[in-house]
Structures are given as structure tokens and as C-alpha cells.
Structure 1
Amino acid sequence: MMRLLGTIALFLFLTAITQIGGIILLMSLLLRRWFGALAMVASFPVLYLIGTFFLVPPLASAISGRVPLPCSGPASLQSASPLYCLLNRNYVTPRLFDLAQALSRSTEDAFPGTVTRTLDGNFPFFDGFPLLPHLSHDDGRKLDLAFHYEGGGLRSPIGYFAFQKPLPGDPQICPDQPILSLRWDLDWLQPVFPKLPIDIERQRMVIDWLTNEGKQYGLEKVFIEPHLTARLNVSDPTIRFQGCRAARHDDHLHIQLAD
């Protein structure tokens, strides 16, 4: 019984973090019945990598119409970490893919050598399947982008959780934390990250492009904290505050398209 419960828990965990991991686990368990435990252990990573990089992209395109964002390479659009591609969290609709490509090219033209780094997109299959811990990111129309920092690097190796705290005089939002909230401050983690300031000119250019040219691709919302909106001196009806119960957006930029 304990083995069965453990298998169910592992199936649910792998499904929750990769969408396809639970199915790969079941395939490996079948091999265990035929060839033993060693075959199961050895086959899981092989089957998972084959599925992730060779089978899922064409299936996602055929079933849900989603396409994977680039993982790495010399291009101006890349994933901030290989984890997003390895965990199948880099899928978006073709229109959002085109927006990200166009944004990266325009940013690189304005600031040569700039790489636009993507964070969480969506899973490859099925609208409504949650991409934890996000409250949305479940239909291919949402994408998080890493901030541009002075020097061109990232404060966090995965692009998240290195927050830009409000400066004196900036708007102070959510002084009283709601009990049920994903708005983590993670104060204990902040000293780990290098103190890189946001590149104001590049980040302003990105938001200006999104709120102008981005609308040609159906841009509906840009989530960013109000104190950064004020610091960057940007304004547009598409720029929103996500609310005090959702994750902070002073460590990354969230964009989404209309239906």
C-alpha cells in the first residue's frame, strides 16, 4: 500500500511540475514489470528527454496550437534557464511567440548585444491546466520576461525572486499582507542576489514597445509593480497592478494577450 501511495504521489508531482512526467513514469513502470527495476530507473530520463524535445513540440502544435520558445543559442531571444525548457514551461501561442521574437529584435537593434530572456510561459497541452505556482499561465497567452539589468546579467539564476524594493518616495503597495497570498517577500533570500540595478533605459524601451507595437500582436496586459512604473516613467492602460494576493512583479515582467 505504501508503495502504491508513493507511486501516486510521484505521479502527481511529476505531472504538476512538467505536465508529461507522470505519463513517462507510467511508461517506465511498465518496463520495470518486463525488465526489472534497473530498466525503470535507466529508462525514465531517456524517455523523458525524448518526449520533451522530440515528441512534445509537434504534438503540442497539433493538439493545442502552442509552440516552444527558444531555449538557448546565439539568438536575441533565449530562455533565462534551461529548466524552463526541461520542465516544458516554455510553450506559448504562435502570436505570443511572434511578439516575443519581434520584441527581442527591436531591443537588440536599440541596444546591440541585448538578449531578451524568457521565464515561465505555459505547458504544452490543455487550457486550464495550472502552471504552478502561477494563478494564470494556463492557456498559452501568458509569458514572463526577465528584467534587464545594468551589465546585461541577471540578479537571479532563474530570473525570479530577486525583488526590486521601493525606493524612498516610491508608491508603497500592500503594506498589510493578506493571509492567503502568493505575494512572497522572501527577505531571507535577498542577500544572496547581487545588487544589480535595473537598466532604466532598456527596460523603459521594452515597456514602451509592448504598449505600442505590442498591441499589433494582441497585447492585453503588462503586470509590473506600481513603484517600478513610476521609476520607469511609463504609462498606458495595458499596464496593470496584479493585486496583493498574486506574486510580486518587481522581479520580472508579465505579459499576456487577449483571447
Structure 2
Amino acid sequence: MKLLRAIGHLIITIFLTALTQVGGLIWLLVLLLASKFKLKKRYLFPMVYLVFNLLLVPPVAKYFGREQLPVFDKDLKPRHYLYPLLFRNYVVPEMKTLLEQSAEHLKYQSIGITYLDANFPFLDGFPLLPHLSHSDGKKIDLSFQYVNSKHQPTDKKPSLSGYGVFALSEQNFTSNSCIENGYWQYDYSKYLTFGTINDLNFDSKNTKLLIQELLKYPSAQKLFIEPHLKQSLGLGHMDKIRFHGCQAVRHDDHIHLQIR
């Protein structure tokens, strides 16, 4: 029984570490506290987790060169609170400055920036699954812009996660080519929507303005979207917009930005 319990705690630790980077450490601390003070783990864990999330990790992350992105700012915000709760909203200071300045400029055109996965708070090279990169604080995924059924710009998104709803997918010949060549994972993000909501359409005008704003900063190194979107948005002249390759996943549901 003790062996099974130990294996169970090990699995929980590994899972929380992979999901949040620091969750496994928090779970081990909770086990220690629960044993020492005879406390219930199911009550103690949420409390300790929130203390780490809200109070301890943000200031410590600064010593590792990472800063937390805004959570409650209306012009630069997460798709929902799950991303900050899972410690996935950390970036290097240069990326935070770029995003904050972009949000400040775009708000006068009624465009807000919605971020998805960024990076964990500590350690270069620590993978942020399921991404291939997002391990050095210099990468972030951002949502496209959308219009509602009345063709009015909205900050709502078509899926709960922000991923998996593809824009103008009938034009995406790259996706078909990658899948036909054996890259089965290329469109697997369609399974990661966690539910589709809202009757929305891709806003090509404001998405173009967002991309142009992001890439005007010298620190912006490259930006990934699908090739068909680069052409349909009239951005073919911008060398910083690249094709991410078939080994990744398709990028007609979000923008991937990285800095130098």
C-alpha cells in the first residue's frame, strides 16, 4: 500500500511539474506540511498553490530574468485565467515591454492583445508542453482578432483555449501538404479547443494591424502564421513573418511571436 501511495505521489509530482513547472514542488511541500501538522492535502494544496502563484513566484522569477504578464489589464490580457494560474504567462522583460507598448498603441484603434501560452517563470530550456519552443522567455502565442455576427470587432475568441479554430482553413494548402507527407501532428490543435463558443469570424483588418504593430520593434525577431494568411493579409513583403515548418503545428489559429 505504501509503495502504491508513493507511486501515486510520484505521478502527481511529474504531472504537475510538466503542466506548471513549479506545481510538483508545491505538491511535495504540501505532502510535508500535511504529514507534519496532520492537515488534509485536498484543502492545503489549493491554498499553498495560490500563495505561490500570487505572492511568491512573481518576485522570485525576476531574479531569473522573467516577468509576469498582466492578468487584469483590458488591453493586454490572457485568453482566460487558466494561463496565469498554470504559471504560463512569464516572459523576459524585453518581451513584456514590446507587448505593453503594442497594447498601448493599439488601444486607440480599439484593438486589444490577448495572449495564450507564453513561458514558465524559471530556467531556460525547461519545456512548456506541448510546444517545441517557449522555453527561454522569448516566445509567446497571441490570439487573432475577430468580428461578431454583426461584423463588429470584438475581444471574444472562438474557442475556450484560444487554440484549434482555424481561420480560412479552406485556403490552407500547406496543412494538407504537411499531413499528406506524414506530419500527423500538424493539425492536432483542433482537439485542444476545450470547447468552441461564440459566432465569430476572422478579422483580417485588425489582425493585420496587430501583426504590423508587433513587428515594428527592433527586438521582434520572427513571427509565425500560415503562408496563406501571410499572403491574404497583404504581408508578403515582411521578411520577419516565417513558415514554422511541418514539424510544428499549424498557425492559422494563433500568432507565434519571438524576440531576439
Report how far residue 15 of structure 1 moved: 0.5
Distance 1:154-1:179 versus aligned 2 partners, 3 A rule? same
Equivalence for 2:165:
162
Distance 1:242-1:195 versus aligned 2 partners, 3 A rule? farther
Matches of 2:211 and 2:256, distance apart in 1: 11
Q: 1:1-259 to 2 correspondence within 5 Å?
A: 1-36=3-38, 38=40, 40-62=41-63, 64-73=64-73, 75-109=74-108, 111-112=109-110, 114-150=111-147, 151-152=153-154, 153-167=156-170, 170=171, 172-176=173-177, 177=179, 178-179=181-182, 181-185=184-188, 192-211=196-215, 213-215=216-218, 218-235=219-236, 236-258=238-260
Count of residues in correspondence between the two structures = 248
Deviates most, 22-31 or 121-130: 22-31
Matches of 1:165 and 1:193, distance apart in 2: 17
Letter in 1 for 2:27: L
Distance 1:157-1:16 versus aligned 2 partners, 3 A rule? same
Report how far residue 103 of structure 1 moved: 1.1
Aligned residues of 1:171 and 1:227 also touching (Cα < 8 A): yes
Give the SS at the match of 2:185. coil
Identify unmatched segments of 5+ residues in structure 2: 148-152
Give the SS at the match of 2:244. coil
Give the SS at the match of 2:174. coil
Report how far residue 182 of structure 1 moved: 3.3
Matches of 2:183 and 2:141, distance apart in 1: 23
String of CA shifts for 1:173-215, please: whole Å, max 9, x gaps.
042415455312566788945452221111111112223x222
Letter in 2 for 1:146: S
TM-score, structure 2 as length reference? 0.89
String of CA shifts for 1:68-124, please: whole Å, max 9, x gaps.
001124x31111110010000000011000100111112112x23x32111111000
Aligned Cα root-mean-square deviation (Å): 2.0
Matches of 1:220 and 1:186, distance apart in 2: 24
Aligned residues of 1:107 and 1:202 also touching (Cα < 8 A): no
Distance 1:181-1:98 versus aligned 2 partners, 3 A rule? farther
Report how far residue 41 of structure 1 moved: 2.0
Give the SS at the match of 1:184. helix
Letter in 1 for 2:258: Q
Matches of 2:189 and 2:220, distance apart in 1: 30
Aligned residues of 2:79 and 2:116 also touching (Cα < 8 A): yes
Aligned residues of 2:186 and 2:249 also touching (Cα < 8 A): yes
Give the SS at the match of 1:175. helix
Matches of 2:115 and 2:145, distance apart in 1: 11
Distance 1:9-1:189 versus aligned 2 partners, 3 A rule? closer
